[in-house]
Amino acid sequence: MRLHVAEHPLIAHKLTVLRDQKTPSATFRLLADELVTLLAYEGTRDVVVEDIEIQTPVAPTTGKRIAGPRPIVIPILRAGLGMLEGMTRMLPTAEVGFLGMKRDEETLAVETYANRLPDDLSGRQCFILDPMLATGHTMVAAIDYLLERGARDVTCLCLLAAPEGLKTVEASVGDRANVQIVTAAIDERLNDKSYIVPGLGDAGDRLYGIVDH
Ligand code: URA
């Protein structure tokens, strides 16, 4: 597993505003969107391109375009949706799939309650969007889901990651695939409720307001 922490003054600034509990949802959504575009820039460094011949107003030249098969972007519902627009703005030719995952609080097993993905992902570059890599269990389940469908190249974009979650993903993935995590910061730890500390709270609630269950 490769890990990239996107260190940049603009990222640190925007992340600090996101963390602040006084930041309202509308600003939070805007900043999350902006941060994703910066993470996407790092996360797409290895996207496969091919040569294309074009004509400028001055001369013919060889340029680059994103090669097929099209990369696929997969937000994990619900909080990953807050990262989708920023990502597709940077990668407009990508296809978008969806994974809805939740954790059974008793068994701790991760259950997939929604999925909209091609059955065959072989040869596809996959980009998972999930703002918070906390315990890592959801990310491991999402990665496994993609690997079972033939994917071998997976980049996970997260606003924040906890050391515990990174260890869990690394131990699970091993050398089964080329997996990369791109995050804006690695925080201190998880608390006893599996929230990232200092973190930013519940990303879904901060993005969309609280939904009673
Ligand atoms: N999910 C969140 O939204 N926040 C955390 O801190 C951990 C998991």
pLDDT of residue 30: 97
Structure tokens at 138: 């959801």
170 C-alpha to ligand 1 centroid (Å): 19
Distance CA 207, CA 86 (A): 14
- How does DSSP classify residue 20? -
Q: Is the CB of 11 under 6 A from ligand 1?
A: no
Phi-psi group of 150: left, alpha or beta (phi > 0 → left; psi -120 to 50 → alpha; rest → beta):
left
Q: Is the CB of 134 under 6 A from ligand 1?
A: yes
Residue 171 CA, chain-centre distance (Å), reads 19
pLDDT of residue 110: 87
Burial of 128 (0-12, 13-18, 19+ CB in 10 A): buried
Name the closest-CA residue to atom 2, ligand 1.
202
Determine if the peptide bond prior to 152 is cis (ω within 30°): no
202 C-alpha to ligand 1 centroid (Å): 5
Q: Is the CB of 202 under 6 A from ligand 1?
A: yes
Mean pLDDT, consecutive 10-residue segments, the chain of 213 residues? 96 97 96 97 96 98 96 96 96 96 78 93 97 96 96 98 98 95 98 96 92 59
Distance CA 176, CA 179 (A): 9
Count CB atoms within 10 A of the CB of residue 138.
22
205 C-alpha to ligand 1 centroid (Å): 10
Q: Which atom of ligand 1 is nearest to the CA of 203?
A: 3
Q: Which atom of ligand 1 is nearest to the CA of 200?
A: 6
Provide the whole-model pTM.
Answer: 0.95
Count CB atoms within 10 A of the CB of residue 65.
11
